[in-house]
A = this chain, B = another copy of it.
């Protein structure tokens, strides 16, 4: 494999001249520049990444820490990952994907060893053991997901509070007065998945303000448990006219449940979900939903991260916490309730 020394020799110049000719960081005569370029081309020269990293302290690699929990919906993760890898590549970076269970140790490994120029963290927990390590690391970091303490980091997330309020508002405007909210399973919450209660608490608060009854429950993550749960809920609250779903598995299971019960959507039951457009397409879900835009979030995180990586000025800017406003994608699964709410 050719080194820059080989290129220099082939072009009849010194190593430093070859380097400058290739990088353009100093003026080099047109004639020499072309000779060096030709030599590099002829020898199929590619700089050695390790050597360059050593000399420049830049690896052009970003770390991506993702965690996979058995009980969470793995396919959804793919969208986030693609948002990150594709955007990173556009900006000239490769992506080191780390899925180790012990995220804190993995983070320490890749930052201390200088394998990466920056890190994106996903599956953020309320109290996330990786955050102190990331704050202390020499590389900048960005989070996809909102932790309890955002200090010292750039944070990107869907505005789950607004999503919760939006769902309730929407159905209230149509005349609904009794709703059910199915959240993620309880262990997601126990693990620190704050987005679950952020949406739920905001929805409950808004419902209270509007005088709407809202039954908020934890869901399950798998069939057949989640199907049974949905049936039990509809049995338990026969007068509820609207269903809010912040749980992928429940959304995927709902069509068969309504079908079996002979419920028509939206005539008998209005439904709003919260998931990604990709997810909706994959499962061909017929419900209006609040788009969680995983690819956009991943892309935003990477762009901000790269800004900080590449500019000392950007590195000293104040940290941002940026929420994507929820957008309701209408699929016609909501309508005024059949029986006017006289209660």
Interface positions of A (Cβ within 8 A of B): 1, 44, 46-54, 59, 61, 64, 68, 73-75, 77-79, 81-82, 85-86, 89, 94-100, 108-110, 112-115, 138, 222-224, 227, 252-253, 255-256, 259, 278, 281-284
Residues of B within 8 A of A223 (CB): 281, 284
- B112 near A46 with CB under 8 A, answer yes
Do residues B78 and A77 form an inter-chain contact, with CB atoms below 8 A?
Answer: yes
The interface residues of chain B lying within 8 Å CB-to-CB of A59 are 49-50
Q: A180 CA to B78 CA in the complex, in Å? A: 32
Inter-chain contacts of A281 with B (CB < 8 A):
222-223
Q: How far is the CB of A133 from chain B (nearest CB, A)?
A: 12
Q: Which residue of B lies closest to A94 (CB)?
A: B96
Say whether A47 contacts B113, CB under 8 Å: yes
Chain B residue at minimum C-beta to C-beta distance from A281: B222
B82, A68: Cβ atoms under 8 Å? yes
A97 touches B85 (CB 8 A): yes
| Contact between A114 and B78, CB atoms less than 8 A apart | no
A76 CA to B253 CA in the complex, in Å? Answer: 19
Residue from B138, B227, B259, B284 in contact with A1 in the complex, judged by beta carbons closer than 8 Å? B138
Shortest distance in angstroms between A227's beta carbon and chain B's nearest beta carbon? 8
Are A75 and B253 in contact (CB-based, < 8 A)? no
Across the interface, which residues of B come within 8 angstroms of A78, CB to CB?
A: 74-75, 77-78
Inside 8 A of A53's CB, which chain B residues have their CB? 49-50, 53
26 residue pairs A–B, Cβ–Cβ below 8 Å: A1-B112, A1-B114, A1-B138, A46-B108, A49-B59, A49-B113, A50-B50, A50-B53, A50-B54, A50-B59, A51-B54, A53-B53, A61-B115, A73-B282, A74-B282, A75-B282, A77-B78, A86-B99, A89-B99, A94-B96, A94-B115, A95-B96, A97-B97, A224-B284, A255-B256, A256-B256
Q: Output the least CB separation between A87 and chain B (Å).
A: 11
Contact between A97 and B95, CB atoms less than 8 A apart? yes
What CA separation (Å) do A1 and B85 show in the bound complex? 28
Given A95-B96, A278-B74, A115-B49 contact (CB < 8 Å): yes
* Inter-chain contacts of A73 with B (CB < 8 A): 282
Q: Which residues of B contact A252 (CB under 8 A)?
A: 283
Contact A97 B81, CB 8 Å, known A54-B48, A74-B75: yes
Known: A1-B112, A85-B99, A89-B98; 4 extra A-B contacts, CB below 8 A, are: A54-B54, A61-B96, A61-B115, A256-B259
Considering only CB atoms, which chain B residue lies closest to A97 in the complex? B97
B47 near A253 with CB under 8 A, answer no
A99 nearest CB across to chain B (Å):
5
A187 to B98, CA, bound (A): 32
B residues in contact with A283, CB < 8 Å: 252
Quote the shortest CB–CB distance from A23 to chain B (angstroms): 15
**How long is the Cα–Cα vector from A253 to B54 in the complex, in angstroms?**
53
